[in-house]
Amino acid sequence: MPNEKLPDQVFDMMQQHLGYNDDEAKLFKDNPRNTKVMQTAMDMQNKTIVFEVVQSKGCNSQHKVGTKFYFTGDGNLITKMAPARVCAYLMPIMSQAIYAIQELWYAGVEPNKLCFKRAGCFDVGVLCGGWGNVVIESSVMPREEAKKLFES
């Protein structure tokens, strides 16, 4: 679908969704980058971005190995699938990874092929003068697969 013209209805829907006035909607529509992103965005909406804790020591929010955080393809935390507490210091790391995953997707690159899928909160842990440290690993899965995990 890249380089195809999107129907005006798609832009009308985005104007409604984002609350743009007519001038803002025209700016949005006239930006070729937005067209490119929207051509692949629907496929990304059928994905779930997952971060799994693979290492944890001294986490004040009690994130343990195996804890998972699920986000929609457009980067919204799925709260009904989230732990009761989500560490504010881990969220920026996940948001940066989501941005990279989305950019790869929009560029036509499979995000699960990232070489470096792991990142950590910026607390350095008790051995280095902090409190704790958590390491997460990212992956992307079909949305339906994630729904089945939650329903089971």
Cα 77 to its chain centre, rounded Å, is 8
**Structure tokens given for 69:** 């955080």
Q: Indicate whether 151 pLDDT > 90.
A: no
**Structure tokens given for 131:** 């409190």
Contact 137, 68 (CB under 8 A): no
Beta-sheet strands, E only, within the chain:
47-57, 68-72, 118-120, 133-142
| Beta-bridge partner residues of 69 | 51
Please write the tens of the pLDDT for every residue from 19-38. Answer: 999 999 999 999 988 888 88
Q: What is the pLDDT of residue 135?
A: 97
| % residues pLDDT > 70 (the chain) | 97
| % residues pLDDT > 90 (the chain) | 61
Contact 138, 117 (CB under 8 A): yes
46 phi/psi in degrees, rounded to 5:
-90, 15
State mean pLDDT over 33-57: 89
Worst-scoring range by mean pLDDT, 7-16, 66-75, 132-141? 7-16
Cα–Cα distance between 63 and 75 in angstroms, integer?
20
Cα–Cα distance between 8 and 17 in angstroms, integer?
14
Maximum pairwise Cα distance, the chain: 57
User: How many angstroms separate the Cα of 124 from the Cα of each of 59, 137, 140?
Assistant: 11, 17, 27
